[in-house]
Amino acid sequence: MAKAFWIDQELDRDRDGRYGAHVRKHVEEFADSFGDIAPVTFACIAWRMAVPPSISPGHVRWDRRVLEASCVRNTWDGTLTAEVRMVSPLPEQLTSSREWWRDRGWRGWQEIFGQYVEPTQEDLTRGPFMRASLLVQAPIPLEELPPAPQGPHDGVEEAAHRALAVLVKELNALLAPVLDRF
């Protein structure tokens, strides 16, 4: 089964714990989560700080078909929702016949060094693009997430690492079977 997400432990080791250093340097970003009885806000901040553009390359890495991934607090009940946008093949209704193309030179997702990329402005002058993607919005269980630290000196770095491990595990359980289908 494919891994949708993973934590880049090797790069982190090679750079003397860069994610931990990043968390320590920006610990004020966690201020609203300190002492919260729910771990959601803390986990969302830990995720945001582990992916580009906050840290590049990301401490959390993902399959090349994943375009973006975020964790947000659900405004209805305060639970954690993952939002992941992934490259997708065109629907069968469009691939079963190319009659609709009408010789316009439709193009799909472009790849550069194995990564799916948006067309440049120059590319868009040369012909039409149709790029299918899936938006997955799903609740993430809270049971295994660490509690939010009480303050900036209460193990923020360790809790952030644990939160990421749980989020990666849950996202893999959710999305790896989807990625295995295409």
Provide mean pLDDT across the span 60-75.
96
Q: Could you tell me what percent of the chain has a pLDDT over 90? A: 80
Mean residue pLDDT across the chain = 93
pTM higher than 0.85: yes
Residues 78 and 152 in one domain: yes
Token pair 């952030």 is found at 160
Domain that holds residue 110: 90-131
Residues 37 and 119 in one domain: no
Per the structure block, which two tokens stand in for 58? 């990301």
Residues 24 and 108 in one domain: no
Q: For residue 16, what pLDDT band results from cuts at 50, 70 and 90?
A: low
SS3 20: helix
Residues 111 and 149 in one domain: no
- For residue 101, pLDDT beyond 80: no
Provide mean pLDDT across the span 95-120.
86
Residues 10 and 64 in one domain: yes
Residues 77 and 141 in one domain: yes
Q: Which letter does DSSP use for residue 84 in this model?
A: E
Residues 68 and 149 in one domain: yes
* Dihedral angle, C-alpha 68, 59, 172, 93, nearest 10 °: 20
Residues 31 and 75 in one domain: yes
Q: How far apart are CA 4 and CA 51, in angstroms?
A: 14
| pLDDT given for residue 98 in this prediction | 75
Residues 76 and 152 in one domain: yes
